[in-house]
Each structure stands twice: as C-alpha cells, then as structure tokens.
Amino acid sequence: MIRLENLTKHFKLKGQLHYIAKDVSLTIPRGESIGLLGRNGAGKSTLLKLIAGTIKPSSGRIVRMANVSFPLGFQGSFNGSLTGEQNVRFVARIYGQDTDRLVAYVQDFAELGKAYQAPVKSYSSGMKARLAFGVSMGVDFEYYLVDEITAVGDTNFKKKCKRVFEEKLQHADIIMVSHSTGTLKEYCTTGIVLEDGQAIYFPNIEDAIKRHNQNMARR
C-alpha cells in the first residue's frame, strides 16, 4: 500500500506558485495497477518521482508500505563518473540486493559489452536507457513506476524488454504514465486523474480515461 497524506508539491513559475498536488490524500492499494492521467504539465511525472522518493514534497508526506521502484528507465540517479557496473553495484547496496547477482543480471540483460566497464557519461541516451531498464528489471519490486514505456534497441531487444516486464507484473503492481490510452487499458485496471493540483481516484480505468477526456475538452 502507498498512502498520500495531505501531499502538496508546488513550484514557482513566472513568480507564481504552480501546484502539482494541493493537499492530496488518497490510498493506492495493492493488487491494482493504476494509470495516471492528466494534461501536459499537470505533474504526472513529478508525482511518480514523489512516490519514488527521488524528489521531496513541499508539505505532507507519502507512506510506502511496500517495495517501490524508481521510475522505470530513470537515468537521473546514475553517477556519470562511475562505470555502468559500479552504478549497478551502488543500486544493489541501496536496495539490499545480492551485488554480484544484480551485476551479472544487468550485464546480460543490457547487452552493453565492454561499455559496461566504461563511465556512464560516455554512454549514448540509448545505452543509458538499456542500463536503467536492466537495473529496474533486476530488482523485484512490489510496485513498478512507469513513465512511458520506452524500449530501445533492435526488435529482439524490445521483445525481451516487454517479455521480462510482463513477467514481473505477474507478482507486482504498476503505476503508469502514458499518453496512449490503449497502453493504459492494456496494463491498468484503475486510474488517477490529475487536474489543477487535485488527484481523483477511479476504480475503473475506463472511467478515469473518460474524465480525462472531459477535462481536455473543457480547455
């Protein structure tokens, strides 16, 4: 379970406060995969980072009574001066994983070859995405946070990403951001709609999509 308690997050934009969440309280239960909807700029990606703990709320708190991933494919936590392998070892220690097992898993999964021993700052964006996706899949989380599924590489590598991801979801839930309603319907059963700093939970993803479309039609 993940619980948002009086969560507020705001930024200053052109001298005015812009609210991503304004005194939001809701519970995200286990056993439900959630689609996160909202117009561009509503704060979907920011909310994922808040849930992950990679950024802090302005006020309120998030209680995580489950093992929650960083946003799937998130590259921002890598240290560019460290090699791919060294970054994986660091992540393994943070999440209490068997270091050698995770290093070997990511080496096999990401297919980086000799670049695995090179500094991450020398990687292309595609190589960083492979490394990040491999790390995400190498750790067993109860919630996977997904900000648009972006599979990189050739057709076979994309198929591998999709297969492993779907295997993980046999025993885990997801909170997913996607501009594709088809993708949300495929993976999600429930939904949360962000609008003007408020978050409304819908037990049915179809109802969440309907409300989002109504919000978009109003502006």
Residues 113 and 9 in one domain: no
Place of tokens 């930024």: 11
DSSP label at residue 120: G
Asked whether residue 105 is assigned to any structural domain, the reply reads yes
- Among residues of the chain, what percentage have pLDDT more than 90? 71
The tally of domains found in the chain comes to 2
Using alpha carbons, list the distances in angstroms from residue 178 to 107, 185, 189. 28, 10, 14
User: Average pLDDT in the 108-116 region?
Assistant: 95
Q: For residue range 28-70, what is the model confidence (pLDDT) as tens digits?
A: 989 999 999 999 989 999 999 999 998 999 999 999 999 998 8
Tell me the percentage of the chain whose pLDDT exceeds 70. Answer: 95
pLDDT of residue 126: 84
| Shared domain check, 91 and 33 | no
Q: Final residue of a domain: which of 139, 159, 192?
A: 139
Which residue do the tokens 């591998």 mark? 160
Q: What is the domain range of residue 61?
A: 1-67+142-219
* Cβ neighbours for 213, distance < 8 A, ≥ 6 positions apart: none
Query: Cα 63 from chain centroid?
Result: 17
- In this prediction, residue 158 carries a pLDDT of 81
Query: In terms of Cα–Cα distance, which of 145, 178, 173, 143 is closest to 37?
Result: 178
- Give yes or no: residues 53 and 148 share one domain: yes
Nearest-5° Cα angle at 26, 21 to 30: 125
- State the chain's mean pLDDT as an integer: 91
What is the pTM assigned to this prediction?
0.86
Q: Look up residue 148 and give its amino acid.
A: E
Q: What average pLDDT does the segment 166-173 reach? A: 91
Choose the final residue of a domain: 139, 160, 192: 139
